[in-house]
């Protein structure tokens, strides 16, 4: 199946969290974080059709207070999506308070009002093997192939990185195969709420 066809079909899937899968995904992410003990985590701010994983931030703030958190950031100056340092986990005031500080920008994505440290890739931000990148997508395979939203942003963020790449998705979006292209960055593991 071609990427455009997969994107069309994935967009038809109910945008609500089927069977509370997000909570299961957060639990599994917590287990992975406990195992890896990262110094840095790149996390997405969930929007419709993506697992609501932001509760993991509170868990990170309790278990890894010095861990640095990064989120996507639309840079109006360069007109591109980049990565922004958000804050250290011990600076988290609680999920509701933190979400209220973010603003809606490009494509309806919540992000910082003004980011001070912005990078083009996780490599540039200093991510290493024990660090974790949590990546959303429209569809994945169990082998780590990913179909995103078509902008190539995560492929650019993660290109050449040794950081541990974690794809997260609802179980209904885990496919047996898809046509990955040479520039598509493969995930090290894919977590869904069904497995």
Banded model confidence at residue 117, pLDDT cuts 50, 70, 90:
confident
Residues 6+ apart with CB under 8 A from 13: 49, 170, 172, 173
pTM of the model: 0.88
33 or 114, higher pLDDT: 33
**Residue 179: is its pLDDT beyond 80?**
yes
Q: How far apart are the first and last CA of the chain?
A: 23
> Helix/strand/coil (H, E, C) string of 169-181?
CCHHHEECCCCCC
Residue linked to tokens 């490009």: 106
Sheet holding 189-191, edge to edge: 118-119, 80-88, 68-75, 40-42, 132-135, 164-168, 189-191
CATH code of the domain covering residue 49: 3.40.50.10420
Banded model confidence at residue 120, pLDDT cuts 50, 70, 90:
very high
How confident is the model over 64-82, as pLDDT tens digits? 999 999 999 888 888 888 9
What confidence score (pLDDT) does residue 16 get? 59
Domain that holds residue 165: 3-191
| Average pLDDT of the chain, as a whole number | 86
CB count in 10 Å sphere of residue 2? 10
Q: How many domains, in total, are found in the chain?
A: 1
169 or 14, higher pLDDT: 169
What confidence score (pLDDT) does residue 141 get? 92
């Amino acid at each position: 199946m071609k990427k455009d066809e997969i994107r069309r079909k994935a967009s038809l899937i109910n945008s609500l969290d089927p069977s509370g899968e997000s909570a299961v995904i957060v639990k599994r992410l917590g287990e992975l974080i406990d195992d890896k003990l990262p110094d840095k985590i790149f996390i997405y701010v969930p929007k419709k059709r993506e697992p609501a994983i932001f509760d993991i931030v509170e868990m990170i703030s309790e278990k890894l207070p010095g861990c640095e958190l990064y989120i996507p950031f639309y840079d109006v100056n360069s007109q591109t999506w980049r990565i922004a340092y958000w804050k250290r986990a011990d600076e988290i005031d609680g999920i509701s308070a933190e979400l209220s500080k973010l603003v809606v920008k490009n494509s309806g994505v919540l992000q910082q009002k003004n980011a001070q440290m912005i990078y083009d890739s996780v490599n540039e931000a200093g991510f290493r093997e024990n660090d974790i990148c949590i990546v959303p997508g429209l569809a994945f395979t169990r082998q780590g192939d990913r179909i995103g939203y078509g902008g190539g942003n995560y492929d650019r963020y993660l290109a050449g990185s040794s950081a541990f790449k974690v794809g997260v998705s609802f179980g209904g979006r885990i496919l047996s195969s898809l046509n990955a292209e040479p520039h598509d960055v493969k995930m090290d593991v894919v977590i869904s709420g069904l497995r």
